[in-house]
A and B are shown apart, each in its own frame.
Chain A
Amino acid sequence: MSILCNSDTKLIVQGMTGRSGTFYTDQAITYGTNVVGGVRPGKGGKTHIGRPVFDTVRDAMAQTGADATMIMVPAHNAADAMIEAIEAEMPLIVCVTERIPVLDMIRVKDALRGSVSELVGPNSQGVLTPGACKIGVMSTADAKPGTIGIASRSASLTSEVVASLSAVGLGQSTTVGVGGDPVHGIGFQRCLELFMEDPGTTGIVLVGEIGGSEEEQAAAYIKANHCAKPVTALVVGRHAPAQRRMGHAGTLSVFGSGNAASKNAAFRSAGVSVVENVDDVAQAMAGTMAAA
């Protein structure tokens, strides 16, 4: 079992005919993802890497029954691609594209309100249900099917955590990259809701970073809902110098929130097992799972 995607998922790729679109679509197919087509305006009716190309998301859904899309279009078109998918009522939208203007994301979030779609990303490595469905650009080398759910703000640390979990025999139900941008689709809280409902997930790892309030919200949710499944959290950036912006990580807010100490304190008060170093995640999770 898993969340968001599984072996029944029918995926289309918006921007499939581009260079990286082609590369990652091919990788997804090789991994076993059921890619049913792609979208590229003006190239409808053609075939690309053995899959039909459509002019619009709506056409692609009508013709193929697709229920998920991966967006790999350039940043300046990415917001429109997301909005097109939302308006076509695509159930799952995964946007990999990075460097999208934040005001464009406000438009996208406005379109999302009241819609049926779940948006993952942008600036996300995607969603992986090991052994069943890969929607994204993540490394799959160390991923193993299993029952640990991962929601992460960092692609590199997700790889790190997946490798260490697999090494101690803990496979993963689904890994979700919530994305590194300040305004994005589903966050930790929604991932927690989905993992809690999923009978195939028995434990959850959250990988957070300084900046924003995602971790605090997740902690408040765990506390309020008395979540039954064990949660382990890692927040990186404990020693990042204040008042400097570090890549996408740690977009420090002027207004108080966002340092690692406050995030870890929020997690601890919600009964979450907090680890300080990425190397410790797997052991902590294994320990919690054994005790549960």
Chain B
Amino acid sequence: MNLYEYEAKEILAQYGVPVPEGRSVTTAADAEAAAKALPGHKFAVKAQILAGGRGLAGGVELAPTPSKAGEIAKRMLGSRLVTKQTGAEGEVVERVYVETAVDSRKDFFLAVLVDQALAQIVVLGSKNGGVDFEDRVLREPGIVETLPVDSNGSLDDTLCDVFLNRLGISGDAAAEARGIIEALVKVFRRIDATLIEINPLTLTSEGTFAAVDAKVSIDNNALFRHPEFAGLASSAGGDEIEMQAQKDEINLVRLDGNIGVVVNGAGLALATQDGISDAGGKAANFMDIRTTATSLQVARGIGILLNDPNVKSILVNIHGGGMTPCDTIAEALALALAWSDRKVPVVTRLAGHNADYARQMLVDRGVPHERCDTMQSAISAAIARAA
């Protein structure tokens, strides 16, 4: 679960991370009032969306006066912000964050995440923080420094000194930076984060640090022990249809093609997508039916595809395993087609556990479909039907 900037900053502030003072608002009038109440003479107005890349897409603007802050908020609220990470549809701005703008002497990048290979929490830092950091790091991976965190959450003094030294942070600033790193690690472990990213961590003209932007992602698998996050606005955010599918034990990601795909297992789903792309087709979605999904849940998932006007054919590619036998999917397909008024050609390729039984079930129930015996032939047929 990704948090909005204003939610992330509220949590970070509780742990002592310095953040500029700010308010989250949903109207232009409130934005102007918020700016009036804030310290300072210059304000940043920031669109609250869950995707990154706002800065380069016009989602962050500076206002020299409170009334200007109100005008900017009026323009942003209700608009659709398209960034590199939102996809072409963009995300509607329903809330803006107004905060005191800080004068930057230098922008750093600081992040805490799990190094998968080392199975360890690590802190990443760079003296080249700012809006273009993500592009730059791909060209110059050497601009990132790494600091490992012990399994009990503590930092090695020497390694920490070396890390800060490499970032060019010394003296009083180094002591403050270390405090910020320790606070970030503490909050990371406390809230079951998978990522905390501060970009930029700004060294202000007064010589102190401010976390000017913050991204926090929380481990969905740990939400059971964090009831405090259930009330956050971001827990209701994201794509409504994808969230609905999640409730039905289906990982669904909507894409912009015209072939709806029904697949069990993330690996087979990726392989199916590769096959479709190689053959010149475009998938309308990625679907990974979890092993715990029932036929009723899968039927609702297929229903999402049937209801999507962009979907011109449906490819059912199932390798029945120990936990998801083919008949569960056949049952779901029969149900979903019976519920739907929209007729979409269906191509099936069933293999593995209970494949024969499932094929017979589709025939017995009179489910209209084109049966294929290999993945390649099924992909070709689905592309042909969608054309």
Which residues does A use to contact B, with CB under 8 Å?
A: 24, 27, 75-76, 98-107, 109-110, 125, 136-142, 152-157, 159-160, 163, 180, 182-183, 207, 209-210, 212-214, 217, 234, 236-241, 243-251, 253-256, 276-279
Whether the Cβ atoms of B319 and A156 lie closer than 8 Å is: yes
Min Cβ gap A187→B in Å is 8
Of all chain B residues, which has the CB nearest A211?
B116
Contacts A157-B271, A209-B266, A249-B269; A182 near B116 (Cβ below 8 A): yes
Of all chain B residues, which has the CB nearest A123?
B221
Whether the Cβ atoms of A160 and B274 lie closer than 8 Å is: no
Q: What residues on A are CB-neighbors of B255 within 8 Å?
A: 241
Which residues does B use to contact A, with CB under 8 Å?
A: 84-85, 114, 116-117, 119-121, 124, 134, 137-138, 141, 144, 151, 189, 192, 194, 219-222, 224-225, 251, 253, 255, 263-271, 273-278, 286, 288, 290-291, 319-323, 351-353, 374-376
Cα A136 to Cα B274 with chains together (Å): 28
Min Cβ gap B275→A in Å is 6
Q: What residues on A are CB-neighbors of B116 within 8 Å?
A: 182-183, 212-213, 251, 253
Cα A8 to Cα B270 with chains together (Å): 37
Whether the Cβ atoms of B225 and A76 lie closer than 8 Å is: yes
Min Cβ gap A192→B in Å is 16
Cα A253 to Cα B278 with chains together (Å): 24
Task: Tell me which of B192, B270, B278 contacts A250 (CB under 8 A).
Answer: B270
Whether the Cβ atoms of B119 and A105 lie closer than 8 Å is: yes
How many residue pairs link A and B with beta carbons under 8 A? The number is 182
Q: What are 15 A-B contacts with C-beta separation under 8 Å? A: A76-B225, A102-B194, A103-B219, A103-B222, A138-B321, A156-B321, A160-B351, A163-B319, A180-B266, A183-B116, A239-B277, A249-B269, A250-B266, A251-B116, A255-B141
Contacts A106-B151, A249-B266; A236 near B274 (Cβ below 8 A): yes
Contacts A160-B351, A180-B266, A246-B269; A139 near B278 (Cβ below 8 A): no
Task: Tell me which of B220, B269, B322 contacts A137 (CB under 8 A).
Answer: B322
Whether the Cβ atoms of A255 and B120 lie closer than 8 Å is: no
Whether the Cβ atoms of A277 and B119 lie closer than 8 Å is: no
Min Cβ gap A103→B in Å is 6
Q: What residues on B are CB-neighbors of A106 within 8 Å?
A: 114, 119-121, 151
Contacts A209-B266, A279-B376; A183 near B114 (Cβ below 8 A): yes
Of all chain A residues, which has the CB nearest B263?
A156
Min Cβ gap A244→B in Å is 6
Whether the Cβ atoms of B268 and A103 lie closer than 8 Å is: no
Q: What residues on B are CB-neighbors of A217 within 8 Å?
A: 117
Closest 10 CB pairs of A and B: A154-B267, A156-B265, A247-B266, A109-B119, A239-B277, A101-B222, A156-B268, A249-B266, A247-B251, A247-B288
Cα A278 to Cα B268 with chains together (Å): 9
Contacts A138-B321, A141-B352, A279-B374; A157 near B267 (Cβ below 8 A): yes
Of all chain B residues, which has the CB nearest A251?
B116
Cα A273 to Cα B220 with chains together (Å): 37
Whether the Cβ atoms of A247 and B119 lie closer than 8 Å is: no
Cα A11 to Cα B121 with chains together (Å): 33
Whether the Cβ atoms of B134 and A254 lie closer than 8 Å is: yes
Task: Tell me which of A99, A100, A249 contacts B288 (CB under 8 A).
Answer: A249
Whether the Cβ atoms of B322 and A256 lie closer than 8 Å is: no
Whether the Cβ atoms of B274 and A238 lie closer than 8 Å is: yes
- Max count, chain A CB within 10 A of own CB: residue among B84, B255, B269, B375: B269
- Max count, chain A CB within 10 A of own CB: residue among B144, B151, B322: B322
Whether the Cβ atoms of A240 and B151 lie closer than 8 Å is: no
Whether the Cβ atoms of B267 and A156 lie closer than 8 Å is: yes
Min Cβ gap B301→A in Å is 13
Of all chain A residues, which has the CB nearest B222?
A101
Cα A233 to Cα B321 with chains together (Å): 21
Cα A170 to Cα B202 with chains together (Å): 60
Of all chain B residues, which has the CB nearest A239?
B277
Of all chain B residues, which has the CB nearest A210?
B270
Contacts A141-B353, A157-B267; A246 near B286 (Cβ below 8 A): yes
Task: Tell me which of B225, B253, B265 contacts A157 (CB under 8 A).
Answer: B265
Whether the Cβ atoms of A277 and B275 lie closer than 8 Å is: yes
Cα A253 to Cα B114 with chains together (Å): 10
Cα A24 to Cα B321 with chains together (Å): 13
Cα A109 to Cα B138 with chains together (Å): 30
